[in-house]
Every structure is written in C-alpha cells, then in structure tokens.
Amino acid sequence: GNSVTQMEGPVTLSEEAFLTINCTYTATGYPSLFWYVQYPGEGLQLLLKATKADDKGSNKGFEATYRKETTSFHLEKGSVQVSDSAVYFCALRSTGGFKTIFGAGTRLFVKA
Amino acid sequence: GAGVSQSPSNKVTEKGKDVELRCDPISGHTALYWYRQSLGQGLEFLIYFQGNSAPDKSGLPSDRFSAERTGGSVSTLTIQRTQQEDSAVYLCASSLARAEELFFGEGSRLTVL
C-alpha cells in the first residue's frame, strides 16, 4: 500500500541555518505530494504541494521538488526563523483518490 | 465559521465510558475526514464522508468506533467503551469535493484513564 516515511525529529537549528527535512514515499502511479505544517496550538495547514514529477512546490521560503526517480519530496529552506518552529508532515494522495496519507511528522525547533 | 471547529478540545474520561467528538466543517465543504494522531505516530486515517455517506470506513480501528454526518455538515465520532489505547488527538478535516487541500481543525485531545 501507499506510505510516507520522513526523518525523525526533533530537528534543532539556529536562526538563519539551512533546513532539510527528508521525505520518501511508496505509491503506485503518480500521486500528488504535500507538506503540511502544524504551528503550536493550531491545526495542520497546507504549506506547499506538487502534483507531477519535477514540479517544485514553494511557499514562505520553503521549497520541495517532486523526484520520481528517487521517490522523494524533501523540504528545504535556506534560512530558518524562530517562527518556523513547528511540526512538519509530508503527505501523499493517489491520483483520483480521496485518502491523504501522512508521515509521522518532524518537529523543528529554531533557536534565536 | 471561518474554519473547521472541533469540540471538545480536551476530554478526560474513565475506561469503559462512551465519548462523542464533534466536528463542524467549513461551510460548503462536502468532504469530511477523521484522523487520529497518537503520540509519536503519524496521522492515522479513520473515515471519510462525501456528503452524508461514508464510502470508506476501513480505517476505523474496531467496532467500538462509529461516525455519522447529518445534513452534509456536522459530523460526530463516537467511541464506545473507551480503552486506554484510544487516548490520542482526534483530528477532523474538510475540503471541497474532490479537492486535494485539506483544512484541519485544532483537534480533540482524548485521555482515557
């Protein structure tokens, strides 16, 4: 079945450091891929998405590229801020499907 | 309301009691989802509604779990004879029909003593 694996946290960085959170997936066909973020005390919200191979999703300085050959969708940001401290979830949805499958989440702490 | 609303935000109950968790989706969203988030685990899919019908109930962990949706809007997740392993955060999300972006509520944290 379809699944998502992402790096375990927590990840602790200093402000302005480079961020990478790894995500790989298992799925048949060409699923859509997502990153959701959960800030403290809030519900999950969509951060970015990509719907086909080689697409790059981007938002708020975060980027992720859909790599079919490596079945990956790693999240990156060049310079993190304290306000980026949150839990990040990688997710996929099969084409035409209704079920979004989530990874376990990666908690990010950014220190001033 | 502007977003997905869930109640109660926190519920502490004794083992063996029944609990009801409520979700009020964004107005106009026909799709509604329930997920469970246990400590250290990802989001576990429970059930999906399109309108009032639930095409897929396969994610419900046992027959103690049930969910309904009335009027194509509010949904209730009921857990009967709660067990300690039911302790988790129960998340509700809604979306426009067939849209991929999910809008989540803040969740209902259930603690079974």
Mean of pLDDT over chain A: 94
Query: Which helix (H) or strand (E) element contains residue A21?
Result: strand A19-21
Q: Is the pLDDT of residue B20 over 70?
A: yes
Higher pLDDT, B55 or A58: A58
Q: Does B55 touch chain A if contact means CB atoms closer than 8 Å?
A: yes
pLDDT band at A79 (very low <50, low <70, confident <90, very high): very high
Q: By percentage, how much of chain A surpasses pLDDT 70?
A: 100
Nearest chain B CA: its distance from A6 CA (Å): 10
Q: Is the pLDDT of residue B53 over 90?
A: no
pLDDT at A49: 95
Residue B47's closest chain A neighbor by CA?
Answer: A99
Yes or no, beta carbons of A100 and B100 under 8 Å apart: yes
Yes or no, beta carbons of A43 and B4 under 8 Å apart: yes
Q: Give the pLDDT confidence of A33-75 residue by residue, as tens digits.
A: 999 999 998 889 999 999 999 999 999 999 999 999 999 999 9
B 1-20 near A (Cβ less than 8 A): 3-4
Q: Is the pLDDT of residue B72 over 90?
A: no
Yes or no, beta carbons of B101 and A46 under 8 Å apart: yes
Nearest chain B CA: its distance from A37 CA (Å): 11
Structure tokens at B8: 């109660």
pLDDT at B52: 85
Yes or no, beta carbons of A45 and B103 under 8 Å apart: yes
- Pick A104's closest partner by Cβ from B33, B41, B48: B41
pLDDT at A91: 96
Residues 6+ apart with CB under 8 A from B58: none
Mean pLDDT of B45-70: 90
- Pick B45's closest partner by Cβ from A46, A89, A99: A99
Rounded Cα distance between B93 and B4, Å, is 7
Mean of pLDDT over chain B: 92
Rounded Cα distance between B67 and B69, Å, is 7
Backbone angles phi, psi at A67, to 5 degrees: -110, 100
Q: Is the pLDDT of residue A108 over 80?
A: yes
Mean pLDDT of A76-80: 97
Rounded Cα distance between A7 and B69, Å, is 36
pLDDT band at B71 (very low <50, low <70, confident <90, very high): confident
What residues of chain A lie within 8 A of the CB of B98, using their CB? 98
pLDDT band at A29 (very low <50, low <70, confident <90, very high): confident
pLDDT at B1: 53
